[in-house]
Amino acid sequence: MNRRKFIQNTALTSAGIAAGVAGISCKEVENKTQDTEEKIIASSSKPNYISISTWNTESANTASGELLAQGKPALDAIIEGVAVEEANEKNTTVGIGATPDREGNVTLDACVMSPDGDYGAVLAVENIVHVAALARKVMEETPHVIMASKGAEEFAYSQGFKKEKLLTPASEKAWKEWLKTSDYQPAINVENHDTIGMLAMDASGEIAGVCTTSGLGYKMKGRVGDSPIIGSGLFVDNEVGAAVATGMGEEVLKTVGSFLVVELMRNGMSPQKACEEAIHRIVKRGDRYKDFQVAYIAMNKNGETGNYAIHPGFTMMKYQDGKSENIISDYYNKA
Ligand code: SD4
C-alpha cells in the first residue's frame, strides 16, 4: 500500500468510527477525511535539504543551498557558503572590508556547531579572512573550543591560513569619516548586509550552524559580541533544531537567545513561536529595545523555519529544494 493510500485508509477508518459515534453522514465523513489527509501530508512534508541565513545574504545562502543539493554535508555547505561573503570586500560586516573598531582594527568573531554537538569559535581575530573556517579548525584540530585574538591568529597560520589586510581603502575612509564625530550609536538595521548566521539541514537530515561577523562597527577595542558565543549567537541540537541571532549582541548574550529558541522548540514550540518568545524576553526588560535591533532565525528537525525581529527591516534568506527566497520578517515594534 502506498503512503498516500495508507494515510487515506487510516483517516477513513478513524473518521468512519467517529461518524458512527457522532451520527454524521457519509458525505461529511468524506469531507472530514480529506481535511485530515491534507493536514497529515502538510505536517510531514519535510524538505530534502534547506539552508537559511540572516539578512539579504543571497550569494552565501545560495552557495550553501547548491552544495546541499549536490549531497554535501551541512557543515561543509555552511562554511563554504559564508566564505563567499567573507571574501567580498563590499560587505562591511564580515571578513575583508569589514568595519573596524574605533581604533581602526578589523577584528572578527565566528563560531560553528556540528550535528554532533561539537563547537568551535574564534574571538577578535585580525588579519584572517575566513574566520568561520578557522572556527571549524579549532573545533576539529584542537582540544579546545574557543581561541581568541593573537593565539587564534597564530593557530590560523599553523593551519595554512594566509595573512591578509582586512582594512580596505573604503573601510578606512569610512572609519576616518566616523572619527570626525565618534558618535557610537549602532544603527537599528545596518543596510543590506550584517552578521551572517546560517543554518542548514542536509539530505541526511543533519543540522549544522555557523555565525561570522566583525561585530558592531566602531566598537571598543577588545569588545566581543554574542556571535561567537555558544548558546547566544548560535545553538544547534541535531535532535531538535537550531537557531542563530543577529543584532545587538549585548542583549542576546544576556538572554542566551539561541539556546532559548532551541529549548523552546524542544518543548514543542514551532520555530516561529520560539523566535517570537525569545524576542519577547528581550523587550520585556524595558524600553531600551526601542533603540536597538535583535533578530532570530530558527529551523527544526522537520525543516520548518521561523524568523522574528524587534523592528522592521530584518529579512531571512531561504534556499530549499532548488529555490531561493528572501523572506521579510515579522517584528515586535508595530508602534
Ligand atoms: C554583535 N550580533 O557583535 C553581532 C552584530 C550583529 O547585526 O549581528 N549585528 O553584537
pLDDT digits (tens, 9 = 90+) for 238-265: 999 999 999 999 999 999 999 999 999 9
- Report residue 119 as a C-alpha cell: 563547537
- Of the pLDDT bands very low, low, confident and very high (cuts 50, 70, 90), residue 45 is confident
- Residue 49, pLDDT > 80, answer yes
pLDDT (tens digit per residue) in 261-293: 999 999 999 999 999 999 999 999 999 999 999
User: Residue 153 and residue 135: Cα distance in Å, rounded?
Assistant: 11
pLDDT (tens digit per residue) in 91-146: 999 999 999 999 999 999 999 999 999 999 999 999 999 999 999 999 999 999 99
Comparing CA positions, the residue from 100, 115, 110 lying closest to residue 147 is 110
**Half-sphere exposure (CA, 13 Å, Cβ side) for 48?**
11
Q: What is the pLDDT of residue 194?
A: 76
Q: Which atom of ligand 1 is nearest to the CA of 223?
A: 3
Q: Residue 313: what residue type?
A: G
Q: Which atom of ligand 1 is nearest to the CA of 247?
A: 7
Q: What is the pLDDT of residue 183?
A: 80
- Rounded to the nearest integer, the mean pLDDT of the chain is 88
Radius of gyration of the chain (CA): 22
57 is annotated as an active-site residue: no
| 249 annotated among ligand-binding-site residues | yes
The helix/strand/coil state of 194 is coil
Q: What is the pLDDT of residue 41?
A: 41
* Structural contact between residues 294 and 305, judged by C-beta atoms closer than 8 angstroms: no
Q: What is the pLDDT of residue 196?
A: 97
Q: What is the pLDDT of residue 321?
A: 86
Q: What is the pLDDT of residue 38?
A: 44
- Report residue 176 as a C-alpha cell: 576616518
User: Residue 302 and residue 253: Cα distance in Å, rounded?
Assistant: 27
pLDDT (tens digit per residue) in 182-194: 887 766 665 444 7
Q: What is the pLDDT of residue 184?
A: 78
Q: What is the pLDDT of residue 5?
A: 36
**Domains, the chain:** 46-331 (3.60.20.30)
- Residue 222, pLDDT > 60, answer yes
**From the candidates 107, 195, 212, 315, which is the catalytic residue?**
195
Q: Which atom of ligand 1 is nearest to the CA of 225?
A: 3
Q: What is the pLDDT of residue 34?
A: 52
Residues in the chain, overall count: 335
* Structural contact between residues 311 and 207, judged by C-beta atoms closer than 8 angstroms: no
pLDDT (tens digit per residue) in 59-103: 999 999 999 999 999 999 999 999 999 999 999 999 999 999 999
Mean pLDDT, rounded, for 219-231: 96
Q: What is the pLDDT of residue 302?
A: 97
* Nearest residue by C-alpha to atom 7 in ligand 1: 247
Q: Ligand 1 pocket: which of 94, 198, 210, 213 to mutate (most atoms <8 Å of CB)?
A: 213
* Structural contact between residues 317 and 198, judged by C-beta atoms closer than 8 angstroms: no
- Report residue 238 as a C-alpha cell: 541535531
- Residue 13, pLDDT > 80, answer no
- Residue 166, pLDDT > 80, answer yes
For ligand 1, residues with CB inside 6 Å are 194-195, 213, 215-216, 225-227, 246-249
Characterise 126 by phi-psi region: left (phi > 0), alpha (psi -120 to 50), beta (else): beta
- Residue 26, pLDDT > 60, answer no
**Half-sphere exposure (CA, 13 Å, Cβ side) for 174?**
16
